[in-house]
Amino acid sequence: MNKLAIVIMLSAFCIQSCKKENKINRNLEGTWTIKEYALKNGLYTDFSTETRTFQFSKYKNAYTRSMKGIYMVTYTDPSKKPVIDTFEYQLKDRMLEITSVQNRRVNGVSPNTIGFLRRRFLLSNSASNTFTLTRMDSTGLYIRATK
């Protein structure tokens, strides 16, 4: 009887944690505009010459798969082409890990967003209209976006 109770509790725990990733994925679905981000060389809040966005799709069983997203930089200057990078990510509890980034050449140059994106982030406030991604490998580096 004790073994059965332990198996039932473990199953319930697994199901509950699986539901958490699905709920986070549902909350992330859509387009998010980056309002600020901090890197080693400072805080960026002036987006008067560009708009930076993340796009996330909705997936079933988010806890068992790699999912795809889009990171886009659109410039207000019509002569500059937008930067559109696709990436793959996984959700594990409140951790979002970007596992690969596909850079596209823009105006003959590949933007270096791989170093910026390909990281593990702690995801905060995904249930609201604002979320924050804080890099797990260092403190003070984050991205804040709104829907």
- Split into its structural domains, the chain has a count of 1
The alpha-helical segments, DSSP class H, found in 31-144 are 114-117
pLDDT of amino acid 4: 63
Residues 20-44 pLDDT 10s: 888 888 888 999 999 998 887 788 8
pLDDT of amino acid 9: 60
pLDDT of amino acid 101: 85
Q: Which residues contact residue 85 at a Cβ distance below 8 angstroms, ignoring those fewer than 6 apart?
A: 70, 71, 72, 101, 102, 103, 104, 111, 113, 117
Total-model pTM:
0.77
Domain, as residue range, for 20: 2-146
Residues 97-143 pLDDT 10s: 988 888 766 665 666 565 667 788 989 887 788 999 988 876 678 89
Indicate which CATH number applies to the domain containing 85: 2.40.128
Give the CA distances from residue 137 to residues 65, 121, 142, in Å, rounded to whole numbers and listed in that order: 23, 8, 11
